[in-house]
Amino acid sequence: MIDWQGYIGLILDGAAVTAELTVMGAALAVVAAFAAGLGRVSRYWPLRALATVYIEFFRGTSIFVQLFWVYFVLPFAGITLQPLQAGVLALGLNVGAYAAEVVRGAILAVPRDQIEACVALNLTRGQRMRNVILPQALPLMLPTFGNNAIELLKGTAVVSLISLKDMTFQAQVVRAQTGSTLIPFATILVLYFLFASLIGWAMRRLERRVTRGLDGVRA
């Protein structure tokens, strides 16, 4: 008879690592997305160039390669990261690059007449962005941000490459030790689905909050 309780405990330890990577990666991704998204619409060309290079690089290479570089190559440049730090950095920057395009698209989707009203009211560029454009762009970003967060969750499984024991890694360990495929993989199936549902629920709540009062204004 197999001691399933212990093995499920291993998988739950892995789930904690997955959750940690997802939450911290998402936090970094949001920062990177706004920095690069605003950089893309900046009137200063060096900022635009920098943001474009970042976005194209991280979208144009795989997360697998990025993680490898962050963990195994950066030490040659004198930067050594803990596995968790490396995982958060690679995942956050990767997803942030996709989300940056969402930020940029949402900013550009705010109607031009809103900006003209700001000019007529003599707001500075910074005041326009903070008080008028971003508050209207945010509701447009959130649904795609939710998808990005779920992509991030699913992407966390690559960290086994740098010896982090996330839940996919643990499921494989359990499978190797018990010879059972069904139970460990059914367990992580349910766990991934629960995590994704939680993200979806949180995003819907956030969306309802930021669109309050805007109903009937835009689809």
Rounded to the nearest angstrom, the gap between the alpha carbon of residue 120 and the centroid of all alpha carbons in its chain is 37
Residue (of 141, 192, 124) closest to 30 by Cα position = 141
User: Could you tell me the smallest distance in angstroms from the CB atom of residue 38 to another protein?
Assistant: 18
Q: Which of 120, 176, 182, 219 binds another protein (CB under 8 A)?
A: 120
- 45 interacts with another protein by CB under 8 A: no
Please tell me the distance from the alpha carbon of residue 90 to that of residue 71, in angstroms, as a whole number: 9
- By the 8 A CB rule, do 7 and 174 touch? yes
- Number of residues this chain uses to bind another protein (CB under 8 A): 22
Q: How far is the C-alpha of 151 from the C-alpha of 93, rounded, in Å? A: 13
Considering only 16, 119, 186, 189, the residue that binds another protein (CB under 8 A) is 119
25, 32, 36, 9: which is closest to 158 by C-alpha? Answer: 25
CB of 140 to another protein, least distance (A): 12
219 sits near another protein (criterion: CB under 8 A) = no
d(CA 72, CA 118): 49
- Asked if 213 touches another protein (CB under 8 A), the answer is yes
Q: Which of residues 121-150 bind another protein (CB under 8 A)?
A: 121-125, 127, 131-132, 135-136
Alpha-carbon span 25 to 156, nearest angstrom: 9
CB of 103 to another protein, least distance (A): 17
Binding to another protein, residues 95-114 (CB under 8 A): 113-114
In the complex, minimum distance from the CB of residue 178 to another protein, in angstroms, rounded to a whole number: 55
